[in-house]
Amino acid sequence: MSEERPDDGDDHASFYPAEYLEGIALFNSRRFYEAHDAWESLWLREPDARRKLLLQALIQSAIAFYHLEEGRKRGARKMYERAKEKFARLKEKRLMSLDVESFERQFDAVLKNELLIGDEREATNVDKVASMPRIVLLPPQEEDFK
């Protein structure tokens, strides 16, 4: 596993599984497929339904960006729609120290825009997308663990 940690100034390692934090670091490094892999291994064994739903939304978000990067806008659109559906089902505005609403707004803004422009099979250089979502965890609070 990667030694990278989210650039959030707080140590979440004692609160969350390494795969969750690794997925965040990979996502923030725009290594979307690897982020998907890290989160998927956790999602497969997560017993909590709310956390499982959040992980699934994050996985689908990462894959949407991966497809966009690969020039598969149809696949990106499909994953975007699936992730949006998962986010809509989440009742929590904050979960696992993630401001869910903020991340969803960022995700939505970028994908909506990128899916509307260009050729259906044109790759998007995500390194040139200035407003790419960045996951920054909030300081852990008791509500994150209920």
The whole model's pTM is what? 0.83
State pLDDT tens for residues 88-132: 999 888 999 999 999 999 998 888 877 765 555 555 555 555 567
Domains of the chain, earliest start first:
18-136 (1.10.3450.10)
> Residue 53 has what pLDDT?
97
State pLDDT tens for residues 30-86: 999 999 999 999 999 999 999 999 999 999 999 999 998 888 888 999 999 999 999
- Per DSSP, the chain holds a count of helices (H) and strands (E) of 5, 2
